Amino acid sequence: MYPRSPLASIQKFHQELVALRQDLHAHPELGFQELRTSGIVAGALEALGVEVHRGIGKTGVVGVIRGQRHDSGLSVGLRADMDALPIKEEGNAAYCSTVPGLMHACGHDGHTTVLLGAAKYLMQHRHFNGTAVLIFQPAEEGLGGAQAMVEDGLFERFPCDSIYALHNWPALPAGTIGINPGPMMAASDRWEVTIEGRGGHGAHPYQTIDPIVVAAQIITALQTIVSRNVHPVESAVISVGHIQAGSAKAPSVIPGRALLVGTVRTFSDEVQQVVESRMRALIASVAQAFGATAELKYHRSYPATINSAKQANFVADVATDLFGAEHVVRDLIPSMGSEDFSYMLRKRPGAYFRLGQGGAEQGRLLHNANFDFNDAVIPVGSAMFAALVERSMPLEK
Ligand code: NI
């Protein structure tokens, strides 16, 4: 049994953390524009006496806390994201967004607060032998803030033997920790196909090369990649999210060009490669078969978020000790969403876990205009981060 739990200590300043979270919620900022937020984070860390480094990955902040001893030479990184989304808030909380068109619809206000709560506890106790590196990253929502911090020398300047991050999860009951010792989130790729045919009169299609018919054939052919080319035990998604051709005001005009835009989600480099290469072959050859041409632009965005088994099992063990096995899901089904902590996990062993917060049944879903982070679970998240530090680098052996 774990000899000490940080939870009771952190609950003593729960209300202070709630006030902080609600203030962050009222003042959302987009990726790489988190000037107010990063200022509050840096100020809070400095007030605690934490060594603070700013401007890593533009608006990123790093706090360094040394334990009562640090002769173990060990260090553990903890990451929280800080950015908001361009969504107009529809909730009616007193601390609703004060910025038109922006809101914390993914709970990063909660993640930032959770890590500041861990910082306060760790500074009060320093009950570990090593160094805790607190990573407050910008721009998780599509702009790759984690990659920006890595490229800015994050792990060279602040070595980490292992790294951890959490994300709130409305589909899990409040206070439940969910994890999987492997894939957690998918790689997210964006693709675009421009089909060039020959336009003409809708009454004389024999004189044209109809790019809409070619687009329809390509869309159908793409469905065979997951069913016929990807191993049945592996996972992949290919979705067309946008089609554009012709004009609704010109029903008798066959356009010269059609555009398809979509996404691909995969959990492994090998499957990602199979999907991309099959898309290239099918799109080019289907277009050619109809006398058209088609060009595929394929853009790889965030890689898959894959936990290291050792660190993932460690998270599950720590959570079990802190909260009991009934509050831990060890084999959580991965999400086909994506997450840029993956860039950090490609550099260091670590794990990304879910902090259950409930609310999915009431429609409080991530990226929804009615979303709001559940303040009740702040101490649970902070205690997890703190315990991961204390147990990775124990003071007494
Ligand atoms: Ni998020």
Q: Which of 140, 161, 339, 390 is catalytic?
A: 140
Q: What's the distance, CA 18 to chain centroid?
A: 23
Q: What is the CATH number of domain 187-300?
A: 3.30.70.360
Q: How far is the CA of 373 from the centre of ligand 1 (A)?
A: 11
Q: Which of 83, 189, 276, 390 is catalytic?
A: 83
Q: How far is the CA of 366 from the centre of ligand 1 (A)?
A: 7
Task: Tell me which fold the domain 7-185+304-392 belongs to.
Answer: Aminopeptidase (3.40.630)
Outline which parts of the chain fall under CATH 3.30.70.360: 187-300
361 is catalytic: no
Cβ distance 352 to 287 under 8 Å?
no
Helix (H) or strand (E) holding 35: helix 35-48
d(CA 314, CA 297): 41
83 is catalytic: yes
d(CA 349, CA 241): 34
Model pTM score: 0.90
Furthest C-alpha separation in the chain? 84
pLDDT tens digits, the chain, 397 residues: what are they? Answer: 445 789 999 999 999 999 999 999 999 999 999 999 999 999 999 999 999 999 999 999 999 999 999 999 999 999 999 999 999 999 999 999 999 999 999 999 999 999 999 999 999 999 999 999 999 999 999 899 999 999 999 999 999 999 999 999 999 999 999 999 999 999 999 999 999 999 999 999 999 999 999 999 999 999 999 999 999 999 999 999 999 999 999 999 999 999 999 999 999 999 999 999 999 999 999 999 999 999 999 999 999 999 999 999 999 999 999 999 999 999 999 999 999 999 999 999 999 999 999 999 888 899 999 999 999 999 999 999 999 999 999 998 6
d(CA 201, CA 255): 9
Q: How far is the CA of 108 from the centre of ligand 1 (A)?
A: 6
Q: How far is the CA of 111 from the centre of ligand 1 (A)?
A: 9
Cβ distance 65 to 46 under 8 Å?
no
Outline which parts of the chain fall under CATH 3.40.630.10: 7-185+304-392
Q: How far is the CA of 141 from the centre of ligand 1 (A)?
A: 7
Q: How far is the CA of 334 from the centre of ligand 1 (A)?
A: 15
Reduced to 3 states, what is the DSSP secondary structure of residue 29? coil
Q: What is the DSSP string of 207-260?
A: GSB-HHHHHHHHHHHHHHIIIIIS-TTS-EEEEEEEEEES-TT-TTEE-SEEEE
